[in-house]
Amino acid sequence: MVMKGKKGVILGIANKKSIAYGIAKACQEQGAQMAITFLSERFEKKLAPIAQELECGTRLYPCDVSKPEEIVALRESLKEDMGEIDFIVHSIAFAPKEGLSGRFVDTPKSAFNVAMEISVFSLVEVAKELKPILSKNASILTLSYYGGVKYVPNYNLMGVAKAALEMTVKYLAEDLGKDGIRVNAISAGPIKTLAAAGIGDFSFLLKWNVHHSPLKQNVTIDQVGNSGMYLLSDLSSGVTGEIHYVDSGYNIMGLPAVDFDEKGKASIAWNGE
């Protein structure tokens, strides 16, 4: 199995619809041992059955990335229970609701700061604090979205955060590369997750992606999970600093897909109705 003998930690599973769960499941099926984290006691109860399914044993730890002491405590728990680890999955993002609606120019500074701290700086802090227990040739993976590259309606502040996250991946990849540590991101197509519930008209994005992506379908957490497993495994030992798209090819499109009539006149293949 591709991940046999590998040990790692997954930060950011909310439920079985989470992309992070898809990655964890793919890694576990390929022989990896894992620990997972929870944000609060409310999530601990929800994640206990998932931890059991993923054969984590008692390796279910608290980690609110807005509290540096909890990241340090996570490192110590991992060190005690697992020793060195081979991979980290960072699936954490948050923006206050006032940063996800209305005009972008009206974004409050407080919302901007929170989004950057939780969605971007947390990757730097997790990498820094867990680095002492990372094995040689370890891999770090985070999650992005196309809204960090191009404008996506209602994504607003989170789009800016994802843009910063993608550059953070590149700078971390260069900095940690000298230590043999790889850092990559997956930019997944729209998936109906708990995080997606905060994006206005998300159902429209799902339909639009189906009609205008080359594969004419939305991706699943299993598809993203398999790609994540590849980036965490030795199969991708020569890959770092990459933003790997798993979006049915939507990111390659310069214009919406079009239909042509018998006279060669073009029209948009789907108008959203």
Cβ contact 85:8 at 8 Å:
yes
Q: What is the CA radius of gyration of the chain?
A: 19
Cα separation, 268 vs 204, in Å, equals 16
Read off the tokens for 207. 């339909």
| 250 is annotated as an active-site residue | no
Query: What is the 3 state secondary structure string of 196-240?
Result: HHHCCCHHHHHHHHHHHCCCCCCCCHHHHHHHHHHHHCHHHCCCC
Q: Compute the distance between CA of residue 273 and CA of residue 271 in angstroms, rounded to an integer.
A: 6
Residue 169 CB neighbours (<10 A): 23
The neighbouring-strand residues paired with 184 are 141
Q: Measured between alpha carbons, how far is 229 from 3 in angstroms, rounded to an integer?
A: 8
11 in Cβ contact with 192 (< 8 Å): no
Instruction: Tell me if residue 146 is catalytic.
Output: no
With H, G, I as helix, E, B as strand and everything else as coil, classify residue 250.
helix
Given 21, 61, 146, 155, the catalytic residue: 155
| Candidate list 21, 61, 145, 146, residue with the active-site label | 145
Pair of tokens at residue 250: 């939507």
Would you report the helix, strand and coil content of the chain in percent, each value rounded to 5?
Answer: 45, 20, 35
Phi, psi of 160 (to 5 degrees): -65, -40
**Residues with catalytic function:** 145, 155
